[in-house]
Amino acid sequence: MTLKILYFASICEAIGSTGENFDLEPGMTTLGALRTALADQHPALLTTKNLRAAVNRKMCDWDAVIADGDEIAFFPPVTGG
Amino acid sequence: MNEVAVQAADFDVGAEISALTAADPAAGAVASFVGLVRGGEVAAMTLEHYPGMTEAALADIVTTAKKRWKLRTVRVIHRVGRLLPGERIVFVGVASAHRGDAFAACEFIMDYLKTRAPFWKKEETAAGERWVDARETDNLAARRWRDGEED
């Protein structure tokens, strides 16, 4: 499946990109599997403490199931307000 | 007027508070919160956000507050971009019939905003730039509202 990946804040800086399209291997279905697959190119996704992610603009846990065409964002814990 | 706004521009606190109850004679209380950029070693800060998700997350928080307390009108404004010490960052205004609901909902909205809305602060100091770390006290503040909540 093809996913639209976005990176924000310190993750965006560490990776040097605001996002990319990514083809996830067949058989991988969770947000956690995507994180591991992307970490081959972007180690910051594994080394960042308390990394958070959103699927289609909703914060999700790593066991969330993802589908073709989903917008997936990776970012550090939020610090607004 | 939209209940939530994410914008670079400043806002007028007095006008926002007045607007909450301008057309609502049933409102008997307004509670509001304004968050500012703290000075000191911070020369400026830049707020980044996730366009689209930010507005949805704020709207979700307002919806949750409205289910939990009896509220009349709610307004949340959060600024993005580069801000200087003393500048306003965030406004939460809540109108209700009685003060208890307005006080509680205002604090709840801020506590949830701090842990659920996708904003990130980067500070400029004499030593350079740094991303602000999330604080455990903010997580604890948000968690104390969770009793009896579904998610």
**ipTM metric:** 0.94
Check pLDDT > 60 for residue B148: no
Q: Radius of gyration (Cα) for chain B, nearest Å?
A: 16
Question: Per-residue confidence at B1, pLDDT binned at 50, 70, 90?
Answer: low
pTM over 0.90: yes
Residue of A nearest to B90 (CA): A81
Residue ranges covered by each domain of chain A: 2-75
Q: Is B150 contained in some domain?
A: no
- CA-nearest residue to B45 within chain A is A80
Indicate the SS3 state at residue A48: coil
- Which residues of B are less than 8 Å from A76 in CB distance? 120, 131, 134
Distance CA A54, CA A66 (A): 11
Cα gap A32→A27, rounded to integer Å:
13
- Return the CATH number of the domain spanning residue range A2-75: 3.10.20.30
Q: Flag whether residue B90 sits within 8 Å of chain A, measured between CB atoms.
A: yes
Predicted confidence (pLDDT) per residue in B34-52, tens digit: 999 998 999 999 999 999 9
Give dist(CA A77, CA A80) in Å, integer. Answer: 10
Q: Which of B57, B117, B120 sits opposite A76 (nearest CB)?
A: B120
In a domain, B60, yes or no: yes
Q: State whether residue B140 sits within 8 Å of chain A by CB.
A: no
Domain count, chain B: 1
List residues of chain A with CB under 8 Å from any CB of chain B: 6, 8-10, 50, 54, 57-59, 73, 75-81
What are the structure tokens assigned to A48, written together? Answer: 């960042």
Provide the shortest C-alpha distance from residue B25 to chain A (in Å): 30
Q: What is the pLDDT of residues B58-78, one digit of tens each?
A: 999 999 999 999 999 999 999
CATH assignment at residue B120: 3.90.1170.40
Tokens of B31: 């509670």
How would residue B55 be classed by pLDDT, with cut points 50, 70 and 90?
very high
Which residues span the domain enclosing B74? 4-143
The whole-number pLDDT of residue B146 equals 87
Q: Residue B149: inside a domain, yes or no? A: no
Instruction: Find chain B residues with C-beta within 8 A of A50's C-beta.
Output: 134
